[in-house]
Chain A
Amino acid sequence: MNEMSACQELTRKDFESNQDVRWCPGCGDYALLEQVKRLLPGLGIPRANFAFISGIGCSSRFPYYLETYGLHGIHGRAPAIASGLKLARPELSVWVVTGDGDSLAIGGNHFIHAMRRNIGLKIILLNNRIYGLTKGQCSPTSEFGKSTKSTPMGNIDRPFSPVSVALGAGAGFVARTIDNDLQHLRQTLKRAAEHPGTAFVEVRQNCVVFNDGANDPINDKDTRNDVRMLLEHGKPLRFGVDGNRGVRIRGFEPEIVTLGENGVTEADLAVHDETSAHGGLAFCLSQFAAPLPLPLGVFRAVEAMPYETLNAGLAEEARRKRGKGTLEQLLSGGHTWNVN
């Protein structure tokens, strides 16, 4: 059986592991698991060539529930483990599943360096804005002032925007989606899977036990379009239940405008550009906070030579210059002398 036929025959079912899924009923992580199972068979990659790497936290149990190669590592270190695997075996499709504490608190260093290196990892961050597995402490993405078990008088840490952190670290592909918009989730994951180099996706995810309802405003089908904005490359920044609102940028300041009011037309709205080299608009969008709508979609998609390709290039260059090394050359190299 050749590789292609092996891939074509794959279905969602082939990616189901025999392990009982131990997330709380109603957890947003189920949605991601389901969409990944639906996505992987269609990528044209043999099942054995997928590897899912994780750290610690609720989301990091993910690899156990997928019938691929997987490694459940230690807290925060998944990008480092995955980087070693990808460098050693560039032909593998290596994914990292992480959480807001795992990647932005204890693993912040590995996270930013994976972004700046542009190594071919697909990093999915399940952001529930709370610590779940340790039962309800604030996380680096928890709102300022939020009362949690570790911040009974209110959180005095200001939150990170994961998208801003990723962009600031130089990531080439950065997106945000949400657990219960299945179509958006699937499409965003597909874009990430197809992007060479580091691809980062923040998934806003509901923790039913410790932070339930945190995403309600952006989920409620009746009202969500007033508080969220779907990004589309080359399209004006529009949102609103009636689709008649938009974002205009004056100088460096974004402002909400209503089409048809005060002579505002679509031509006045900022146009989304994923491919902008400097990523200034992407960063501006990543900082949007109420009353500005929360952007969902691909903030940035700029291709550059992936790290593993550059790394392989070094070996090729070394061999071109010096020839493939042999053990004999290795041992007898350098300054030698004879003793008779």
Chain B
Amino acid sequence: MNKQIPKQDCMPAATVRRVEELDRAIVRFAGDSGDGMQLTGDAFAKIIASGGYDFATRPDYPSEIRAPTGTLFGVSGYQIQFSSHEVFTSGDAPDVLVAMNPAALKTNLADVKRGGAIIVNSSAFTDGNLSKAGYQSNPLEDASLTDYRVYRVDISGLTVRALESLGLPPKEAGRCKNYYALGLVLCLYGRPLDAEEQRIRAKFAGKARIAEANVTALRAGYAYAEACEMFVTTYVVRPGNIKPGVYRSLTGNQAAALGFVTASELAGVPLFLGSYPITPATDILHELAALRHYNVKTFQAEDEIAGICSAIGAAYGGVLGVTSTSGPGMALKTEALGLTAMLELPLVIINVQRAGPSTGLPTKVEQSDLLQAVYGRNGECPVPVIAASSPADCFDCAIEAFRIATKYMTPVILLSDGGIGNAAEPWRIPDLADMAPFEIAFRTDPEGFLPYARDANLARAWVRPGTPGMEHRLGGLEKDFLTGDISHNPLNHQRMVEVRAAKVAGIAREIPPLAISGPREGDLLVVGWGGTYGPIVQACKQAEGAGKSVAHLHLRYLNPLPGDLEETLSRYRKVLVPELNLGQLSRLLRERFLRDVVVLSKVQGKSFTQAEIYDRIMELC
């Protein structure tokens, strides 16, 4: 970068402007926690969505609410990949990085594609900010960014100037700089502003001056980029080959909440959420708390234990009980989960996993609670476990979890993670007529009623208190096989332990045959579970493109495992299991099937990149 170039100049000076057509694009916004980057990214995603693209987003924010400004640990980012084709992840390397300060540049630069565009807020590159970010010299003035196309724009200053006529105090005007930056990026991709302007006006309905300021900043950013011919090349991504229909954007947490309410509506049974706030699961509580005009009750409990216990009480009362949490909260709920298994009441526990152990990395992704979910209780206490593979899949899994819970009278653990929980993707709104009916029968006939008598699925009857003539007691003490009375009989205990295990194992009977993408047999099968679906799909496609025989299997049902899994694994010479842990599914597969597998593990608080999985595939075949 050349020192002589005036600060406000945009680079490089354009001679001929051209429009290039792209297949896909990856954009990342990065700035201080207080710079509004999540909001900006979210707004950009909405604009992209309206354009008819497929997309995937990845918010990445620190666990501090607003860390000291300008620091490396205070950087918040939001990445989106959009395309005319199917999108499975938010992408590996951004084509465009918007860096609102030196810390944002420093923490994100390594990810940016070589030759990619970096738009920096040049006035934030002060000596103070440079030093907070640990820069010895200004990267805008030394040779460190020569591999990138750098656009230095005084976003802060230009925003304040654009808003001069509105008479806002400079500090308040400066807060609109994120919309100015958004305007710049919208110009780069030739996206229209009107829908976002409407959203801004709706959002700040009672605060006309703020609305006007944000709209003005948005327009000013766009106009600036256009007027000074900031970008030699602008891009167009053609809207894609997406299945026709009405779409909305959903994060995994929103999708799970919708799924729970949908289960309740389909079954005609009210929903009760007992929950304690915990990152990154809290949005499920927020979503459901706003849906009280449905048959939804939410209860912000005094702690994680009360969260699950209140849901158990509600389930005992005959409603769909659910509790939402993340790893540390899951640990606290363990005893109550065992109680639920003993009471044989339906309950759903959604664990939006985060990096552990202990408090770990609260806002970062990991899949390291699988063994906790499958095994983590005292006594012989099997609990069904399923995992969602994408934001939209959280919807289907939420319904499936309740379906299993009520059919088998058991708690069910639904594993999501902070990646898919907070990431958004387009979701095609399903046709109500296509949704499977969901029937729940409460027993009301006292004739011959025995609380622990079982049906063909080994499930006992669900009886609502208030039903005359069926008064009975449940409890955590071992119970008689039929009457449910306390029993310390040794053979009865063995029988009860075995029947609870058989009931959960029996769920495997109804797991659909495994769907494999790629060859039915061959060199390599990549087995994944949960939120790593996106990068695995893309890596497998890439390897296929390179002529490799590689198949992909993604598991939803983790306990019990599908009945045809062992035979499926046997059809491939090698099995690769990428996991965001040290090999937990791998351990389960080895243990259950005495089959060795290759582990690809990552525990960095980040999901896999496509390249990481692709490289391992190429090494194996």
Using a CB–CB distance below 8 Å, which chain A residues touch chain B?
6, 17, 19, 46-49, 51, 53, 56, 63-64, 67-74, 77, 80-89, 91-92, 109-110, 113, 311, 314-315, 318-319, 321-328, 330-340
Contacts and interface: CB of A to CB of B under 8 A. Distances in A.
Interface in B241-296: 242-249, 258, 261-262, 265-266, 270, 272, 274, 291-294
Given A89-B318, A335-B46, A71 B474 contact: yes
Contacts of B297: 87-88, 311, 315
Nearest to A321: B293
B313 A70 contact: no
10 contacts: A48-B468, A64-B486, A70-B474, A73-B339, A88-B318, A110-B306, A110-B309, A330-B294, A331-B429, A336-B247
A311 B475 CA distance: 28
Contact of A83 (B266, B306, B335): B306
B147 interface: no
Contacts of B465: 48-49, 51, 69, 85, 89, 92
Interface in B515-560: none
A84 B274 contact: yes
Nearest to B310: A84
B469 interface: yes
Interface of B: 46, 49-50, 52, 199, 239, 242-249, 258, 261-262, 265-266, 270, 272, 274, 291-294, 297, 299, 301-303, 305-306, 309-319, 321, 335-336, 339, 343, 429-430, 432, 464-477, 485-486
Nearest to B54: A339
Contact of B302 (A71, A109, A315): A109
B248 A330 contact: no
Contacts of B468: 6, 46-48
A46 B477 CA distance: 28
A85 B293 CA distance: 20
Contacts of B244: 339-340
A285 B261 CA distance: 49
A110 B301 CA distance: 9
Contacts of A338: 245-247
Given A69-B472, A83-B306, 11 more contacts: A19-B485, A71-B474, A73-B339, A84-B309, A84-B314, A84-B316, A318-B292, A326-B265, A334-B248, A335-B46, A340-B244
A120 to B, nearest CB: 13
Given A109-B302, A339-B52, A339-B247, A49 B313 contact: no
A326 B303 CA distance: 32
Contacts of B317: 84-85, 88-89, 92
A48 B469 contact: yes
Count chain B CB atoms within 10 A of each CB in A77, A81, A86, A325 and give the residue with the most.
Answer: A81
A327 B260 CA distance: 11
- Give the 3 A-B CB pairs with smallest separation, nearest first: A84-B313, A72-B475, A84-B310
Contacts of B319: 88-89
A109 B50 CA distance: 48
B266 A336 contact: no
Count chain B CB atoms within 10 A of each CB in A6, A80, A84, A85 and give the residue with the most.
Answer: A84
A71 B293 contact: no
Given A68-B471, A330-B294, A335-B248, A88 B313 contact: yes
B249 A73 contact: no
A74 B336 contact: yes
| B interface, over-half SS | mixed
Nearest to B474: A71
Contacts of A46: 466, 468
B432 A337 contact: no
Contacts of B265: 326-327, 330
B314 A336 contact: no
B473 A64 contact: yes
Given A331-B430, A337-B50, A84 B466 contact: no
A322 B293 contact: yes
A323 B291 CA distance: 11
Count chain A CB atoms within 10 A of each CB in B301, B303, B306 and give the residue with the most.
Answer: B306
A87 B336 contact: no
A328 B246 CA distance: 12
Given A83-B299, A327-B262, A74 B293 contact: no
Given A74-B336, A87-B272, A89-B465, A64 B475 contact: yes
B248 A73 contact: no
A69 B301 CA distance: 24
A336 B471 contact: no
Contacts of B469: 48
A327 B266 contact: yes
B318 A110 contact: no
Nearest to B430: A331
A74 B476 contact: yes
B429 A336 contact: yes
Contacts of A89: 317-319, 464-466
B310 A87 contact: yes
Contacts of A332: 246, 248, 429
A63 B474 CA distance: 9
Nearest to B309: A80
B291 A74 contact: no
Contacts of B243: 339
B8 to A, nearest CB: 35
Given A67-B471, A109-B302, A77 B246 contact: no
Nearest to B302: A113
B292 A314 contact: yes
Nearest to A114: B302
Given A81-B313, A321-B293, A339-B245, A48 B299 contact: no
Contact of A53 (B274, B313, B477): B313
A6 B319 CA distance: 26
Contacts of B248: 332-337
A320 B241 CA distance: 42
A323 B292 CA distance: 10
B314 A48 contact: no
Contact of A48 (B247, B302, B467): B467
B303 A109 contact: yes
A321 B293 CA distance: 9
A47 B467 CA distance: 9
Contacts of A47: 468, 471
A48 B470 CA distance: 8
A331 B309 contact: no
Count chain B CB atoms within 10 A of each CB in A63, A72, A82 and give the residue with the most.
Answer: A72
A73 B306 CA distance: 12
Contacts of A325: 291, 293-294
A299 B71 CA distance: 56
Contact of A84 (B272, B470, B475): B272
Contacts of A48: 465-471
Contacts of A337: 49-50, 52, 246-248
B293 A318 contact: yes
B502 to A, nearest CB: 25
B309 A73 contact: yes
A317 to B, nearest CB: 8
A48 B468 CA distance: 5
Contacts of B270: 88
Nearest to B254: A334
Contacts of B471: 47-48, 67-70
B269 to A, nearest CB: 10
